[in-house]
Structure 1
Amino acid sequence: MSNERKLKGKIKYLIIVPIILALVLMVVVCATMGTDRKETLIASGVILAYILIVSVIYWKMRPVFSATFVDYALDQGRIQKELLKDLAVPYAILDTSGRILWCNKMFKEDICHNEKRAKKRMDYYFPELTSEVFDKVDDSSMELYYDDKTYNALIKKIDMTKVLTDNPEEKKNDEKVISFYLLDVTDLRFYMQENADQKLIAGLLYIDNYDEVMDSTEEVKHSILNALVDRKINMYLANIDAITKRLENDKYFFVFRQKYLQTLKDDKFSLIDEIKNINVGNEIPVTLSMGIGAGTDSFSDCYEYSKVAIGLALGRGGDQVAFKYGDKVTYYGGKSAGTEKTTRVKARVKAQAFEELLANKDKVIIMAHQRPDADAFGSAVGIYRLVTTLGKKGYIVLNEVTSAIKPVVSSFRAADSYDNLLLTSQQAINMVDDDTMLVICDVNRPSITECEELISLCKTVVVFDHHRQSNEAITNATLSYIEPFASSACEMITEMFQYISVKPRIKAVEADAMYAGILIDTDNFLNKTGVRTFEAASYLRKCGADIVRVRKMFRSGINELKERAQGISNAEIFMDVFALSYVEADESLGEAPTVPVAKVANELLNVDGIKASFVVTESKGTLYVSARSIGDVNVQIVMERFNGGGHANIAGVQLKDVHKEEFFDELKTVLKEMYTEGDI
């Protein structure tokens, strides 16, 4: 009825407009020609006759016009309905809950399989299309899968009150409906995947410890070992149809198609473990690292990605795979702690490079990570001694003196020669100019340094660290010396003392600080301790480090002993190999008991059967986690799941606005998953 009224209104409008124009014309004729002339009377008569004829025709033909237009509209509606019914695209009309109100022939054939009545809800065919989905949708598209086909679903909500009429009486029973199209994109997705599968991916494979392995093997067996390693690598890469080229004795380049990438992931790059089983009398097992680059249409970019990836894998200690897909980096393996490098060539090269950079600078600002520990402060002191020996001014950024370094800092403040040594972040920022070098020690993640702003302000940035690298890195470093095999940053700096042109005269208080850094990071020479660690400690002893003095500095107070006892009493054993515990922080003390937490984590490793320990404490909205391990469990890759890091045996993380109950629930899930799958 409403459509008919609209149609009649439009026809009436088409008749009335000419009549009004005719009347206007008659007025114009009378006005221009005068009312008493014969021509005016004739023209007016003709116009009146026209008006009379049009009016009669309208009244006589009105029913015919209406019927003709209505029939035409109905015919058009039938045509559109038939076209929708035979449309070669599955189409349906749904109510707002997802129930099918009407569907075309194609929908019945492809989706309903010619059922007599397709009155089921849409989630019967597509479980993901629940009523909640349709409630939220107005106009969107999504990808759906049905009967081995992929569809692009176009969903649009239509308000029928706006489509049908503006009459309030007819709005009462009108509802919203959903228009639902399904476009079959199976072939399109297939060919897109085929195209992606044919893309080339670049990879680099380095044998981590080639020289060390050869040195530990009889010379007559070198060729046999080389042949076995080469054969194992080539056979593994042949399984993915890769082209392999040996660049050097310990370096390989390979190219393979992207279709085999998932095969390698599912296999978890088993070559890493297989290569370790080669034994022809070599005392040290062979380990290798791989860097793979993908995620770009340019093969040259893939190769550049692979070079970045292999650098990350080696920077994390080797024996693992780094896969760089665009900006995202994923790691596989890395379960072992790595093999210590006995050669000091790298230390000598870095020391000389550092000295050359320093030659053109006037002053050096040194900073470590937030809430610095003994190793962070000790290594900063070591760098200070290096730069002052070479005739430059040195300053250390220190915003907070924690209980972990309070005894050491106090000894420096008691000495007269270190009055201007320590700066706050703001003081350091104000001091920066073109002749300033920034040295970052014991950390390689910009977000947790004492003052991240300094990194962008200084043109020359140098990094010295012994932690494994993560995805977050200091990208503008002029010189970077990251040695994951080192026990501590203090060990690295101590080695560099021996290779600069001017031999430094280390004061006793400085030697104590560096010796304390090594002592704390190795847990009294029990963790990550190698030959070079003892050599560095011996050098510091010669320079005046006093073991008794250092031990007195780090004696525990009664409150710390109570906190450690509390942490041990709160411990629980998970999966028979993990110890989980917590220490309640005393807010009146003003800082988190991170030192007792770390010591509790170390002590829990003395429990029979425990392979790793995780101890936490909460303070001022931050959860501090210390992770320790002994044996094969790599706690670093566990902490990386929480955006933390560290070493294979010592790691940690700080989490904002996370409670210990939430953390332990997630940690248990991660440990169960990784331990079951052999990732740790």
Structure 2
Amino acid sequence: MKDKKSHLRFDFSVSQAGFILSLLFDFIILYFDIKIGLICLSLIVLLAIYNLRLNRKKNKQLLEYIETLTLNIDTASKDTLLKFPFPILISEYNGDIIWYNHKFLNTVKNKKLIGKNLKDEFPELYSAVLEGKNKIEKFEYEGAFFDVLVTVVEVEEGKNEKRFLNLFYFVDVTDFVILQKKYEIQNVVFGYLTIDNYEDVLNSAPEVSKSSIVSEIEKRITDWFYNQIRSDVFLMKYERDKYFFICNKEAFYKMQERRFNILEQIKEVNLYNKIIPTISCGIGIRQDSIFQAQKDAKTALDMALSRGGDQFVIFHDGKFEFFGGKTKEHEKRSKVRSRVMAQTIKEIVKHSDKIFIIGHQYFDLDCLGAAVGLSKLCLNLGKEVYIVINSYNPTIKNFLQVLLDDPQYQNIIIDQQKALKMKTKTSLLFVVDTQRTSYIDMPQMILEFEKIIVIDHHRRPADWIEQALICYSETYASSVSELVAELLSYEGIKLKKFEAEILLAGIMIDTRGFTKNVGVRTFEVATYLRENDAMPEAIKEYLKEDLESYILKSQLISNLEIIYSNIALVVDYSQVCRDNVIIAKVADELLNIKGIDASFVVCKIENSVLISGRSNGKINVQVILEKIGGGGHLETAGARLENRSIEEAKEVLLKAIQEYINENRNI
């Protein structure tokens, strides 16, 4: 009982202050009029006695309430609660706090909580009760950590009355958490860092500036690691444009806090160089093995480079995390890799009996152009080749008909079922215009083939096709049709007019009529296709949209919202759009509005919400849509959300945009 009285004693501080003030006031009255002063004094004494008796009665009622509580629990349990060495808290099932022991009182630093509710004082405990949890790990309060055990106890009020109480047992794990954090920050972090465009930067600068540029880049890298991070870091340059570093996780956290701002600092190097230098870094984190951390760092660096560079990629616990990647890819000047790739692909095709070509969901013109180009390469080598299509974009319908009208291509388009029956152990599978397993039109095909070649122009995602023999991914390229047409030009293959036009159409669609993401090699490929009688006028005729599509575009644009003053957003609430081509066209159209740097169009088709993003280069739509499972390029990206309402999809997109803006504001 002593413990209970110490917890439940009534606070008289307010009434005592009032009593003292009343006495002082009465003494003043006595000074002027003794008779009235004595009457007031008598009243004050009577009120004090009444107040004292009232407080004692309340205190007794509260003690009886707690006594009833403990009497409803057996003697052993009652004794355990009172003498338990860990903090204990008891609440009503609705969260009202009714009792706690000395240990808990010390934990909350003598804060009076009787009668208050868990919802206000300990929201996490309240949520645990609602969710039916029986344990909360590492519950933090005032800098201390506890594992909290939650128990629901049934007590009897009378013969037929029962009620439920929540018992919380607090086990102090503060020392363990601190030790765990100390151990965690000692995890091995290994990183590879490379200058993406070392040769191009130096070649773009006058001879007298080259040594100064190299020196400035090296100075900024070493300064960032040793002076800005200021932690245990070992950095070593092992080639003229390559570094590796080893540090602990504490240093890594400091890098992360700065959001790897070395990416921006390197871009500030301007000593008469016409090309801005960029860097890429891959980081691997392991608890126990520096060798495995090094392997993970190499994997992360490969991922960073395949995504166009200018970014940090962290590979930890089997997952990738991306930072940066805001710079538009520069066209590579050397054609050596392309020529080597053409020869390698040719040799693999020669040693395959049948070749199958697939693309992403809703096979589009870029997919078709690449598929036709690869088919031509295989046919020239005397190989049996098939294009496997499950779903396709309406824009390719006319081109498909032209293809099927040619005797050589009459039986080339098949479905998945037929392809799987025809394949053999030595068959080869080409995957074009995607390297993302979740975007492939027929994922089952990936599992059935031992030999896979991927040709793509998008940044590599986390769920890329790892089992591919070759992943020919060039993010500088305008389209996958450009890459395939370039391979054909190296082989000197003569194309039929319709083959050249389908390839050129794929390039025209992805470059918006040679106005976006084009380089010297894009025009070189276009020249090769034009030499093979491709007619842009004929392609434009095939690509003309009908009146219904034109009206639908106008309806969608009428839903335009402007957010953050420079981002256009269209949401198809009425769900009138049933064509993903229209979505992309509307997104393109919105960029023509003055002051708009990026556009997003959200439409629901069947059970999927499609999001198309476009940019003029000032905002990286690929990074934004990657946050919600999409991907693409800095200027062109898309995402698909399954089993979401259009309102939910909009909220997810807005959250991703807000995160992107906050991240770039902090750099």
Q: Of 527, 541, 558, which aligns to 1:538? A: 527
**How many Å apart are 1:286 and its aligned residue?**
0.4
Tell me the equivalent position of 2:153: 158
- Residue among 120, 127, 133 paired with 2:123: 127
Q: For residue 421 of structure 2, give the secondary structure of its aligned residue in structure 1.
A: helix
Query: Residue in 1 aligned with 2:620?
Result: 634
CA offsets per residue over residues 540-575 of structure 1, 9 Å max, x none?
Answer: 111221222212111222222222222333323222
Contact 2:188/2:286 (<8 A) preserved: no
Amino acid at match of 2:501: D
Kindly indicate whether the alpha-carbon contact (under 8 Å) linking 1:204 and 1:306 is maintained by their aligned counterparts in 2. yes
Could you tell me which residue of structure 1 aligns to residue 589 of structure 2? 603
Distance 1:583 1:152, change over 3 A: closer
- 449-458 or 657-666: bigger deviation: 657-666
TM-superposed CA distance for 1:385, in Å, is 0.9
1:81 deviates by 5.7
Letter in 2 for 1:254: F
Q: Which residue of 2 aligns with 1:623?
A: 609
What does residue 210 of structure 2 align with? 222
Matched residue, 2:553: 564
Specify the alignment match of 1:505 in structure 2: 494
Q: 1:153, 1:641 → 2: CA distance?
A: 34
In the TM superposition, what is the alpha-carbon distance from 1:509 to its structure 2 partner? 1.1
Moved more, 272-281 or 351-360: 351-360
Corresponding position: 1:327 with 2:318: yes
Q: Is the 8 A contact 2:128 2:134 kept in 1?
A: no
Between the aligned partners of 1:561 and 1:357, the Cα distance in structure 2 is 45
Give the Å deviation of 1:423.
0.8
TM-score normalised over the length of structure 1: 0.82
Q: What is residue 44 of structure 1 aligned with on the other side?
A: none
Please identify the structure whose Cα radius of gyration is greater: 1
C-alpha displacement of 1:465 = 0.2
Aligned to 2:653: 667
What do residues 419-461 of structure 1 show as CA deviations (whole Å, max 9, x unaligned)? 1110111111111111200011111112221211111111100
Equivalent residue in structure 1 for 2:513, among 511, 516, 524: 524
Matched, 1:108 2:105: yes
Matches within 5 A, 1:238-249: 238=226, 239=229, 240-249=231-240
Query: How far is 1:172 from its partner?
Result: 3.0
Paired AA for residue 146 in structure 2? Y
- 1:484 corresponds in structure 2 to 475
* Equivalence for 2:180: 192
Aligned sequence identity (%)? 32
Contact 1:289/1:314 (<8 A) preserved: yes
Q: CA deviation at 1:129?
A: 2.2
Kept in 2, the 8 Å contact 1:205–1:288? The answer is: yes
2 CA distance for matches of 1:676 and 1:103? 43
Number of the residue aligned with 1:252:
243
Deviates more, 1:613-622 or 1:504-513: 613-622
The answer as to whether partners of 1:86 and 1:105 remain within 8 angstroms in 2 is no
Letter in 1 for 2:511: T
In structure 1, what is the Cα distance between the partners aligned to 2:330 and 2:357? 29
Instruction: Find the residue that maps to 2:424 and give its secondary structure.
Output: coil
Partner of 2:636: 650
Q: Which residue of 1 aligns with 2:329?
A: 338
Per the alignment, residue 12 of structure 2 pairs with none
Question: Are the counterparts in 1 of residues 393 and 581 from structure 2 also a CA contact under 8 Å?
Answer: no
TM-score by length of 2: 0.84
131, 134, 138: which one aligns with 1:139:
134
Assess if the C-alpha contact under 8 Å between 1:126 and 1:146 holds in 2: no
Residues 152 and 167 of structure 2 are in contact (CA less than 8 Å); yes or no, is this contact kept in structure 1?
yes
Shift of 1:83: 6.4
In structure 1, what residue type is equivalent to 2:107?
Answer: D
Q: 1:546 to 1:632 in 2, by over 3 A?
A: same
Distance 1:244 1:214 in 2: 23
Alpha-carbon distance change, 568 to 98 in structure 1, aligned in 2, over 3 angstroms: closer
Q: Alignment partner for residue 580 of structure 1, among 556, 565, 569?
A: 569
Q: CA deviation at 1:181?
A: 1.5
State the shift of 1:220 in Å.
3.0
Shift of 1:376: 0.6
Offset, 1:673 = 3.5
Distance 1:93 1:230, change over 3 A: same
Amino acid at match of 1:177: L
Give 1:180's match in structure 2, choosing from 168, 193, 198: 168
Q: 8 Å contact 1:315–1:483 — kept in the other structure?
A: yes
Instruction: Check conservation: 2:88, 2:101, Cα contact below 8 A.
Output: yes
Equivalent in the alignment of 1:362: 353
Cα 1:506/1:231, change in 2 over 3 Å: same
Tell me which residue corresponds to 1:70: none
Is the contact between residue 631 and residue 639 of structure 2 (CA under 8 Å) also seen in structure 1? Answer: yes
Number of the residue aligned with 1:347: 338
In 1, Cα distance between equivalents of 2:353 and 2:132? 64
CA distance in 2, matches of 1:243, 1:373: 49
Within 1, Cα distance between the matches of 2:103 and 2:574? 67
**Cα deviation, residue 245, structure 1:** 1.2
User: Is the CA contact 2:354–2:423 (under 8 Å) kept in the aligned structure 1?
Assistant: no
Structure 2 contact 568–600 (Cα < 8 Å) conserved: yes
**Structure 1 residue matching 2:454: 3-state secondary structure:** strand
Answer whether contact 2:388 2:414 (CA < 8 A) is retained: yes
Give the corresponding residue for 2:85. Answer: 88
Distance 1:300 1:402, change over 3 A: same
Describe the SS at the equivalent of 2:517: coil
- Structure 1, unaligned runs of 5 or more: 1-73, 162-168
Task: State the 1:88 CA deviation.
Answer: 3.0
Residues 104, 561 of structure 1: CA spacing in aligned structure 2 closer, same or farther, 3 A cutoff?
closer
1:297 counterpart (274, 283, 288): 288
- Structure 1 residue 144: Cα displacement: 1.9
* CA distance in 1: counterparts of 2:178 and 2:631, whole angstroms: 40
Distance 1:387 1:532 in 2: 23
Shift of 1:103: 3.1
> Contact 1:439 / 1:461 at 8 angstroms: preserved in 2?
yes
One-letter amino acid of the structure 2 residue matched with residue 128 of structure 1: E
Q: In structure 2, which of residues 363, 367, 370 is the aligned counterpart of residue 376 of structure 1?
A: 367
Deviation at 1:475, TM superposition (A): 1.2
Give the Cα separation in 2 of the matches to 1:136 and 1:582: 35
Residue 210 of structure 1 is aligned with which of 169, 179, 198? 198
- Say which SS state the counterpart of residue 125 (structure 2) adopts: coil
Give the alignment partner of residue 262 of structure 1, picking from 242, 245, 253: 253
2:133 and 2:556 map into 1 onto residues whose CA distance is: 54
State the 1:288 CA deviation: 0.6
Structure-2 change in CA distance of 1:191 and 1:550 (3 Å): same
The alpha-carbon distance between structure 1 residues 176 and 626, as it changes in their structure 2 partners (threshold 3 A), is closer
Question: How big is the shift at 1:133?
Answer: 3.6
Structure 1 residue aligned with 2:301: 310
Q: 1:607 to 1:114 in 2, by over 3 A?
A: closer
C-alpha RMSD over aligned residues: 2.4
Question: What amino acid maps onto 2:600 in structure 1?
Answer: F
> In 2, distance between residues paired with 1:296 and 1:463?
34
Residue type of the alignment partner of 1:363: K
By how many angstroms is 1:197 displaced? 0.6
Q: Distance in 2 between matches of 1:634 and 1:523?
A: 18
